[in-house]
Amino acid sequence: MNKISVPVSCCDVGDILADDVNNDRGTKLVSKDTILNQYIKDKFIEMGISNVWTYKPDKLLSDIDGDVNYNKIKKNYKEIVLSMKRVLNELAVGGKLDCEKIFDISQSVLGAANESGSVVKCLAEIKIIDEDTHTHCLNVAFYSMLIAKWLNLSDYKIHEIVRTGLLHDIGKVKIPDKILNKKGRLTPSEFEVMKKHSMHGYNLIKNISEFSESIKNAVLMHHERLDGSGYPYGISGDSIGLYARIVSVADVYDAMTRDRIYKKKATPFEAFQMFLTTGITAFDMVVLKTFLNNLPAYYIGTKVKLNNGEVGEIVYVPPHDIVSPVIRVAKRYYDLANTNELKVLSMV
């Protein structure tokens, strides 16, 4: 797709922005890769922004390709989640880790590396209420891949990080089912048992030469935090490798935005709020900033239910206030930054 500068008045709804759009003070208004809608276009005109950079593929072909890519990713997701389930089931009964199958699954995940919007849409729509480790591992692999891509890491590191995401929780096959599948919060003693899963995971792969030391250490350290508040060792700062720093953000985000048997999932905006408050000291700021600078724009166009019972569509997520999207309900617009009464209750 070619990248060209287009007068805002000549842009079509559905065009994709090829660069960030900033105001005259240099503040980012809209992120690159955002799909232009009427609300954003009107705001550009209102603020005196004359031209924007867009990708200009054939419009019809672009729409068709987008649908095809999403459907392909969704179908592929359903297939590889079953493959991941078989890998973990084999481990759970004392079998060996099928490294070849892990490599195959990672290649399937990597096949969607250039379809960030379709990946985010798929992960948002396909989530189900479960505690299944295989589903979570696959989701974390996808989110980790996106973060690594947005960080502009090498293809080699992106491949490694996808495998880390797939493997990060395999140690849970060693956790008793009565704890792993408990329909309620864990007691302190049960949580101590659960915390051992990262060590179990490391022990399962530590002697497998096909996996690098960086992957093995990340499986061990994905619950460590930069401020020393994590486990299993409570290490901090530079002692935590890059792969673990990336996977930890993906892990927490997916865990928060998945329904649990005993806990309703958080919205993406509630997760963003956590990262921007308590998460500031716990997670790597470069990784976290990259994640939060890129992910929110992909929720534009998503249907949401508000706490007043109305259902609307996200038309804008301000880069400077990602917890307060603008919602269109019929012909009305709700800017959640300007009201304390309304909030997104759930994604539809």
Express each pLDDT in 115-133 by its tens digit: 998 899 899 887 654 558 9
Q: Which residues contact 229 (CB under 8 A, 6 or more apart)?
A: 282
Which CA distances in Å does 203 have to 68, 168, 175, 206?
41, 12, 13, 5
* Final residue in a domain of this structure, among 282, 297, 312: 297
Same domain, yes or no: 146 and 278: yes
| CATH assignment at residue 251 | 1.10.3210.10
Please check whether residues 290 and 305 belong to one and the same domain: no
Residue 304 lies in a domain: yes
> pTM to 2 decimals?
0.92
Q: What six digits make up the tokens of 5?
A: 């500068």
Q: Are residues 203 and 331 in the same domain?
A: no
For the beta carbon of residue 139, count every other beta carbon within 10 angstroms: 24
pLDDT tens digit string along 76-87?
999 999 999 999
Residue 4 has pLDDT above 60, yes or no: yes
| Residues 134/88, Cβ–Cβ less than 8 Å | yes
C-alpha dihedral (279, 300, 66, 162), degrees to nearest 10? 0
Q: How many domains does one find in the chain? A: 3
Task: State how far the alpha carbon of 324 is from the alpha carbons of 35, 217, 269, 342, in Å.
Answer: 18, 37, 7, 10
- Please tell me whether the peptide bond between 296 and the residue prior to it is cis, using omega within 30 degrees of 0: no
* pLDDT tens digits, one per residue of 296-338: 999 999 999 999 999 999 999 999 999 999 999 999 999 999 9
Same domain, 286 and 212: yes
Range of the domain at 321: 300-347
Q: Are residues 289 and 341 in the same domain?
A: no
Q: Is residue 62 one of the residues assigned to a domain? A: no
Residues 18 and 140 in one domain: no
